[in-house]
Amino acid sequence: MSSADAMKPLVVCALAGLAAFGAAAQAQPFYHLDSAVTLTGAAPEWDYVTLDPARGYLFIGRRADGVTVFDVNAQKVVRNIDKSEDANAAVLVPEFDRGYTINGDGTTTAFQLSTLKSIDRIKIGEDADSAFYDPATKQLAFTMGDSRKIAFVDAKTGKILGELPMDSKKLDGTVPDGEGNLFMALRDRNLVVKIDAAQRKVTGQWNTAPCEEPTAVAFDKANKRIFVGCRGKNPVLAVLDSDSGKLITTLEIGHGNDGVIYDGATRKIYTSNGVDANLVIYDQVAPDTYKLAEATTTRPYARTMALDPKTKKLYLVTAEGTADPAKKINKAVAPFYPNRYFPDTFTVLTYSPK
C-alpha cells in the first residue's frame, strides 16, 4: 500500500469531523433582528411591554399615548386602549378576560381582553409605576413608589382590597412564586423582599450585594432560584436561593438593564440592557451553574421586552432621542440618557433565534 493510500482514511475522517463541526456550528441558533416596525406618534415615550401569546398582541405602555396594542403577526397597530393616557404598562388576566393599564396618575384602566374595550378608569392612589398579577390569590399588586406603598386589587372586579406601606421609593421588578408570595426588587435599597400577598406583609428581605440597583426579577420555581437584573456601576445578573435569599452567583450583563425573563422550557435567562443595547442570554446548566449563551446587539435604549413562550421570539421597543442640555438629564442611568425623543421614531423590534 502506498503512503497516499494509507492517508486516505485519515483525510476522510478529518473531513467528516470538519463537516460535523460545521453542522453543529450552524445548528446553534442566535437571535437576529426579524423586523423593525416604526409607529407614528408625537411623544414616543414608553416603559413596559406585555405579550398576549394567545392572540399575538403586544401591549405597549406608551405613556402620553396610553397603551398601544400591536399585532405581532400582522405587524400593525390594532388600537389604543381608550382612557389609558399616561400609561406605563399593562397587566393581563386571561382567566377573567381582563386587562389593566397602569397609569402614572394613580389610576388603572380596566378593559376586556377579548374585545380591547375599556370598562372603567379606577382611582387606586396618587401615583402608579407598574402592576403584577399573583395567580394564587387572584390579586394585582400595584407599585406606587412616590407614595411608598403597594395597592392590592381584586383582579376580577378591580376593587381595592388593601395596601402595604413600603420603605422604598423604587419598587421595581416583581414576580410571583405561584404559592401566594411575591418577590420584589427595591432598587434604592439594594434589596429583594418577599411579600405574602394574602396577608399583605413583608415576610423576608435579602441584600443583593454585590448587585447594586436591583431592577428586573424573574423566578425559576422548579429550582427555587430568583434572577435579579442589577444596573449599578458593574451590572450583573444575580442568582438568589428563594428559600434563604443566599447569593448563588453573579453573571455579567450590559448597562441599563430593565428586563429579565426566565424560560423554564429552555432553561434560558434573558436580560435586555438598554444603555449597552444588547440582549445577554445565559443557559442554566444546573441550579448553581450558568454559562453564556449569547450576547446579541439590539438598539440603544431597547430596555424592556416580552417573550413568546412558543415561538421564542423576543419583542423590544425603542425610539430615537437626544440628551437635551436645556432639560434635566437622568445621569443615574447614563451620562447622556435621552430626555427628549423625536416624533414618529418609536419602533417595535422583533428578534428570532435563527
- 3-state helix, strand, coil split of the chain in percent (to 5) is 10, 50, 40
Q: In angstroms, rounded to a whole number, what is the distance separating the alpha carbons of residues 314 and 148?
A: 32
pLDDT tens-digit readout, 160-200: 999 999 999 999 999 999 999 999 999 999 999 999 999 99
One-letter amino acid for residue 77 of the chain: V
Tell me what the pLDDT averaged over the chain comes to.
93
pLDDT tens-digit readout, 31-48: 999 999 999 988 789 999
Write the DSSP symbol of residue 166. Answer: -
pLDDT above 50: residue 13? no
Please, are residues 225 and 240 in contact by the beta-carbon 8 Å criterion? Answer: yes
pLDDT tens-digit readout, 237-277: 999 999 999 999 999 999 999 999 999 999 999 999 999 99
pLDDT above 70: residue 7? no
Q: Which three cell numbers stand for residue 82?
A: 381608550
Q: Out of 136-145, 277-286, 290-299, 325-334, which region has the weakest mean confidence (pLDDT)?
A: 325-334
pLDDT band at 18 (very low <50, low <70, confident <90, very high): very low
pLDDT given at position 42 = 83
Instruction: Judge if the upstream peptide bond of residue 29 is cis by omega within 30 degrees of 0.
Output: no
Q: CA 180 from chain center: how many Å?
A: 21
pLDDT tens-digit readout, 43-82: 789 999 999 999 999 999 999 999 999 999 999 999 999 9
Q: Strand runs (DSSP E) across 178-318, as ranges?
A: 181-186, 191-196, 201-207, 214-220, 225-230, 236-241, 247-252, 257-263, 268-273, 278-286, 289-297, 305-307, 314-318
- Burial tier of 247 (Cβ tally within 10 Å: 0-12, 13-18, 19+): middle
pLDDT band at 24 (very low <50, low <70, confident <90, very high): very low
Nearest of 274, 195, 272, 180 to residue 227 by alpha carbon:
272
Distances 317 to 74, 131, 245 between C-alpha atoms, Å? 17, 19, 32
Helix (H) or strand (E) holding 9: helix 3-27
- Segment 12-18 shows an average pLDDT of 47
pLDDT given at position 21 = 44
User: Which percentage of the chain shows pLDDT scores above 70?
Assistant: 92
pLDDT given at position 8 = 52
Phi and psi (nearest 5°) for 31? -75, 135
